[in-house]
Amino acid sequence: MNAAISQFSFERLTQILGWPLLDFVWQGVLIAGVAALLLSLCRHARPQTRYLIASGAMLLCALLPLVGMVLQASRPQSLTLSAALQLLSDASATTEVQWQDSNLLLSLLAPVLPFLVTLWLSGVTLMLSRYLLGLLWIARLGSLAGQADYVSAMGDWQQSARSLQTRFGIRREVRLLWKTEILSPMTTGCWRPVILMPVSLLSGMSPAMIEALLAHELAHIRRWDYLVKLLQNLVQALLFYHPVVWWLGRHMDSERELIADQLAVAATGQSRELALALQSLDQMQMQQKSLALAAHGGDLLSRIRQILRPGPQAWQWQMALPVVLAVVSLMLIFQTKVDAGPVADFTVQSRPTREFALPDKLMINTHSRHVMVLDEASGAVLLQKDADVAVPIASISKLLTAMVTLDAQLDMQQELQLSRQDMVGSQQGLTMLKPGLSVTRQQLLELMLVPSSNTAAKALGRTYPGGEPALIAAIRSKLQALGLQHTSIEEPVGISANNRSSAADLARLARFAAGYPELQKLSSSPEIKLSLAGKSERLISSNPLVRQAGWDISLTKTGYSKAAGRCLLLRTKIADKHWIVVLLNANQFTMRTEDAELIRDALSGAISSANSASIIDGSAVMVH
């Protein structure tokens, strides 16, 4: 349970929800611009066409944030690493850098993202609560309670409703209820729809006018408008913060009512009666709930004009407003990306070295829960994610076992015999390692570093001068000497969950381990060939990256246990620079590999881009 909570932390939730919701701010403006342009071009078309445009735009508004959240949650995305490494340039330059994020607006929003997501969740909760209360109110109205005084009226008009229902081709059961609580006809329900009619209409309108209103409500039922309205309200609740969804919602409501009016007139032939009924409803200044489909909805004056004298919609200047907003939005986005970025003073110097400042924190979304990436030469940290938290490190512990073994300057060709107490952990692929087998200390070192043999690590600890306790004491002394305060080791293999370290400590450890030529050679070997018990054995590395093209790895160690997850430490060379990468606690092997490849590709791509773009000629150049 704790692991699940840790994996799906609030920080991760804010990233998954927050960035797509913020992206929708400009995406929504662009959708509005396109929709407004299409609506203005189709103002002479049927309302069905305009309704389709508005509905499609609303659907796109719902899908874009959803797709963004899925992508944000399912795969890592580099955010600012490329911009950071664009500071790299010709080796003869000395660079003094004032860092700015690759997108100024995003850099300002990032610190308040958790607050914005919390605010959004609160708003959604309020909106959904409001809609739920409305649904409960309408459901109560749809009950048969309070119908005793209007049985005769119900019977007569129910027959009229059935006749109209037949004309519309509606096969679902439709109930007609008369209510004193409402002042306008409305429709509720999808599969068992109910038409609610105000009792006041019986004395205030002619039968022909009431029949026209009934036809209007049946048109909504035929088109399943109530279901569409519910989905529309859901989108408006989730994206309540964006005016575009409300603008599109008003267009959908208006065109929906025009379509129902047209269908009602086609079914009854009573255009004048429907217009008079709508005018009467308008004069009564009725107030109604938005969750139901009411006959007086939309722009009543426009509807009456369309019923009595159908014609194209007149051009209005407001139609161009969303297009203008979309253009302005694009200009602002482009200007933000042009203006933001690293601003550096480059001064040509005769010395071959250079100094450059990198941001304190670069963001790459990784599957691994604890990450550290640093430049080995300068120690500059390019990426850290919960890097100071001590967690189980599994077989990465063997790197320390190897270091103190080499420090002791023991006879590496000394013949040693495996014992039963060396048989610990998984022996998958290493079944030849059995009690009594004669091996050299060098072979044990190779077995521990390449195929990551637990038996070999245990045997090295047992045969260390003074035994395993002495080896652990030597490891702890080394940790203290290296200043690795977040690292603790209890046994030489890594089986114990008490063998713990942080990504930051392991990155520092890798810098020191790179000073051992034997560790570099063995840990980065794709395979080893050993003669054991008179047989030649070929054993491959536990890190498949050393066998893959595109990698130049000079030091590596993998690790896995239930407590530690999938772990990886490596030293790799990209563009003549050595980088240390530490990945801890990934759920799956493929996730760990994806993280490593993401970091490698981001580094190599950014460096290549920076080197090709940076041409320094003269005494000083200002780069914007």
What would the mean pLDDT of 389-395 be, rounded to a whole number?
A: 94
| Residue 136 located in a structural domain | yes
pLDDT at 104 (0 to 100): 54
- Residues 579 and 497 grouped into a single domain: yes
- Residues 534 and 582 grouped into a single domain: yes
| Residue 163 located in a structural domain | no
Residue 312, pLDDT > 90, answer no
| Residue 80 located in a structural domain | no
- Report yes or no: 607 and 575 within 8 Å, Cβ to Cβ: yes
Domain final residue pick, 325, 340, 355: 340
| Residue 174 located in a structural domain | no
pLDDT at 383 (0 to 100): 86
- pLDDT band for 203, please (50, 70, 90 cuts): confident
| Residue 189 located in a structural domain | no
pLDDT at 623 (0 to 100): 32
pLDDT digits (tens, 9 = 90+) for 73-109: 775 544 444 434 444 443 333 333 333 344 556 656 7
| Residue 209 located in a structural domain | no
pLDDT at 328 (0 to 100): 55
Query: Domain tally for the chain?
Result: 2
What would the mean pLDDT of 420-434 be, rounded to a whole number?
A: 77
pLDDT at 5 (0 to 100): 43
- Residues 411 and 552 grouped into a single domain: yes
Which of 152-161, 260-269, 271-280, 578-587 is the least confident region? Answer: 152-161
- Residues 257 and 397 grouped into a single domain: no
- Residues 390 and 296 grouped into a single domain: no
- Residues 505 and 577 grouped into a single domain: yes
What would the mean pLDDT of 561-583 be, rounded to a whole number?
A: 92
- Residues 395 and 505 grouped into a single domain: yes
Where are the extended beta strands (E) located within 90-211? 93-98, 175-179, 186-188, 194-198
Nearest CA among 253, 342, 267, 259 for reference residue 299: 253
The span from the CA of 26 to the CA of 242, in Å, is: 10
- Residues 30 and 121 grouped into a single domain: yes
What would the mean pLDDT of 220-238 be, rounded to a whole number?
A: 91
Q: What is the CATH number of the domain that holds 519?
A: 3.40.710.10
**With helix as H, strand as E and coil as C, how does 352-397 read?**
CCCCCCCCCCCCECCCCCEEEEEECCCCCEEEEECCCCCEECHHHH
Distance (Å) of CA 370 to CA 374, 458, 544, 562, 603: 14, 27, 21, 16, 19
pLDDT at 79 (0 to 100): 42
Residue 185, pLDDT > 60, answer yes
- Residues 384 and 328 grouped into a single domain: no
484 SS3 class: coil
Active-site residues, by number, are 395, 398, 452
- Residues 493 and 424 grouped into a single domain: yes
Residue 382 phi/psi, 5-degree rounding, is: -95, -25
Range of the domain at 273: 1-75+103-142+227-340
The span from the CA of 133 to the CA of 140, in Å, is: 11
pLDDT at 83 (0 to 100): 39
- Residues 34 and 126 grouped into a single domain: yes
The span from the CA of 356 to the CA of 573, in Å, is: 19
Is 557 labelled a binding residue? Answer: yes
pLDDT digits (tens, 9 = 90+) for 501-552: 999 999 999 999 999 999 999 999 999 998 888 888 888 999 999 999 889 9
- The 10 Å Cβ neighbour count of residue 49 is 15
- pLDDT band for 293, please (50, 70, 90 cuts): low
- The 10 Å Cβ neighbour count of residue 133 is 12
| Residue 203 located in a structural domain | no
- pLDDT band for 154, please (50, 70, 90 cuts): low
Q: Which residues contact 12 (CB under 8 A, 6 or more apart)?
A: none
- Report yes or no: 76 and 364 within 8 Å, Cβ to Cβ: yes
Domain final residue pick, 302, 321, 340: 340
| Residue 538 located in a structural domain | yes
pLDDT digits (tens, 9 = 90+) for 10-62: 677 888 888 899 889 999 999 999 999 999 898 888 989 999 999 999 999 99
- Residues 310 and 400 grouped into a single domain: no
Where are the extended beta strands (E) located within 427-563? 438-440, 500-501, 527-532, 535-540, 553-561
Q: What global pTM score does this model have?
A: 0.49
Please give the structure tokens belonging to residue 369: 């829960």
Mean pLDDT for all residues in the chain: 78
What would the mean pLDDT of 131-139 be, rounded to a whole number?
A: 84
